[in-house]
Amino acid sequence: MWIPTVLIGLWALFVWALYRDRKRKHKIFRKLGIPGPEPHWWYGNIKQLKTKTRISHETFQMWAKEYGNTYGYFEGPTPILVSNDLDLIKQVFIKQFGKFHGRKHYHVQPDPLSDRICSMFVAQGQRWKRLRTILNPNFSSGKIKHSTTMMNRKAEILMNKLKAIAETGEPFNIQQILQQFALDVIGEAAFGIEIDAQSDAHTPLMTLIEGAVDQDFNQLAVFAPIPELRYTLYKGILFLSKFMSLPEIELLAVMEKILKMRREQPQRNPPDLMQLMIDAEASDDHGPLEIAMDDDGDQASDLSKESVDINLSETERSRHAAELAKRKLTTEEIKVQSLFFMYAGFETSSSVLTYCMYALATNPDKQQLLYDEINKNIQDEGDLTYDKINGLLYLDMVLRETLRMYPLGTLATTRRCVESCTINGLTIPEGMVIQPNIWDIHYDPNLWGPIDSKVFEPERFTPDCRAKRHPLAWIPFGVGPRNCMGLRFAWLEMKIVLAKLIKNFRVLKCSQTIIPLKLTESTVIIAPKGGLKIKLQNRN
């Protein structure tokens, strides 16, 4: 009899201690004088973040209306500071990056400091810097320029496919077709393989990656209240994956096969990402990093080389001393980075192009302006060289405006404080996450007026207008040394497709086009819900 009594007593004591701990942690924003929604002792505010009628960027906007430009909420016990304040964002993401080099932790994930299986996206500190230093060279303008021919070739296949569809006159889901194209492009650019999803939509790799991105990771939010277990839970899932089939694990096995094949045929040696990873040797881990930026140098203006170096504490430095010695990437590391690139290449550019199709179909006057520019400058499509593409100003403006209105990767743009500090009088303790309210910033009438910021207006991005605006007013690729590494690659890919598509077709809305677009949120991407149904009309 006494054993159950003792057990119940211990359990009650444990729950009480946990309750006290969570309540204490939830006091942090009040102590700092920062407003925000009242947290539940166990879940924090995670249940309010996504509801049947709202996804998180809408909640962030709703809370901004209620609590102002900077407010705090909790995911379980974890404090998240959401802010529209561009100066605060600049301090966190750029000036004091050394104290904010981690991202927000996911509810279940590998240890960003020590787990061998850890992508650059999740990694932190020297581990992240080492990976980024090794992989950065593959995303320089020089390297990306070499992909122009391959992207043109794949885009030509896409155009032929679209011509056949346009001839039927039927509405179709363009997102799916763009995803197949994007997978073919990343397959060749990153791994030197012909996936050919454009010819066979059911090719095994396409099926696997679709399965992987369709998974509902939102259910993992039930673990938000117990962040102490996130690494253990991750290890548990990895262990269980040995007994069941998970698309990520199967994809990792595919990556391993490709890697093995490449190591067995060193003479092939194509100049792609995988080769870079195989040959990789980080030359100087202490050196400052080059920040990925578009060719106009956006985001660069305000940065000095010194400001992007990581200033790790002594304890962290010694913890990472071993990391520095490892200059070569391990097989595990190559597999995991490859998987991340496959995801990034598949989902992001295809979703942005889908948004762009929606914007152009619903704004035919802007589509006409774009067509006029392309038609004037590009006589035949073999003419789409890297320099020609980059000379198309309106094309650039259309894509920028699309990404202003649909900044799909904003949930990835977070930083985790790794060393307490004070910014503009605000004390930020270690462990607090900073989440810029990017969707709200991108629609702020003070930054984007006088024309209504809900209107698709590429003219907001004339060189004159851009020069007058705050450099951080437009941040769909994130900010600072940890911004999107693939942005130049994605930019070129999207421009080539858009130029060819508009040169050949009129993009039309139809009765099946859902206006306004409905959006859905995966772990990191906000995408059009159910894709986008439109019609195409051959211009010839």
Nearer of residues 29 and 491 to ligand HEM, judged by Cβ: 491
SS (H, E, C) 381-404: HHHCCHHHHHCCHHHHHHHHHHHH
Cβ of residue 537: shortest distance to ligand HEM, in angstroms?
A: 26
Q: What is the DSSP string of 490-526?
A: HHHHHHHHHHHHHHHEEEE--TTS-SSPPEEE-SS-E
Cβ of residue 110: shortest distance to ligand HEM, in angstroms?
A: 14
Cβ of residue 31: shortest distance to ligand HEM, in angstroms?
A: 28
Whether the link from the prior residue into 516 is cis, omega within 30° of 0, is yes
> What are the angstrom distances between the C-alpha of 408 and each of 277, 495, 526?
28, 17, 5
Rounded-to-10 torsion of CA 387, 392, 397, 403: -50
**What does the block give as tokens for 229?**
């277990």
Cβ of residue 44: shortest distance to ligand HEM, in angstroms?
A: 22
Nearer of residues 28 and 189 to ligand HEM, judged by Cβ: 189
Place of tokens 């990017």: 438
Q: Classify 169 as helix, strand or coil.
A: coil
**Nearest Cα to Cα of residue 278 among 299, 255, 298, 295:** 255
Place of tokens 């581990």: 127
Nearer of residues 76 and 476 to ligand HEM, judged by Cβ: 476
For residue 283, the tally of other CB atoms under 10 A from its CB is 10
What's the rounded Cα separation, in Å, for the pair 122 and 44? 23
| Beta bridge mates, 72 | 81
Query: Phi and psi for 359 in degrees, rounded to 5?
Result: -60, -40
Cβ of residue 98: shortest distance to ligand HEM, in angstroms?
A: 15
Cβ of residue 341: shortest distance to ligand HEM, in angstroms?
A: 5
What is the amino acid identity at position 83? S
Rounded-to-10 torsion of CA 343, 349, 354, 356: 160
Q: Is 465 known as a binding-site position?
A: no
Binding site residues, ligand HEM, CB under 6 A = 120-121, 132, 341, 344-345, 348-349, 352, 408-409, 412-413, 476-479, 482-486, 489-490
Nearer of residues 195 and 485 to ligand HEM, judged by Cβ: 485
Cβ of residue 158: shortest distance to ligand HEM, in angstroms?
A: 16
Cβ of residue 494: shortest distance to ligand HEM, in angstroms?
A: 6
44 in Cβ contact with 77 (< 8 Å): yes
Nearer of residues 28 and 94 to ligand HEM, judged by Cβ: 94
> What are the angstrom distances between the C-alpha of 284 and each of 258, 289, 324?
28, 10, 9
Nearer of residues 171 and 476 to ligand HEM, judged by Cβ: 476
Query: Annotated binding site for heme, which residues?
Result: 484
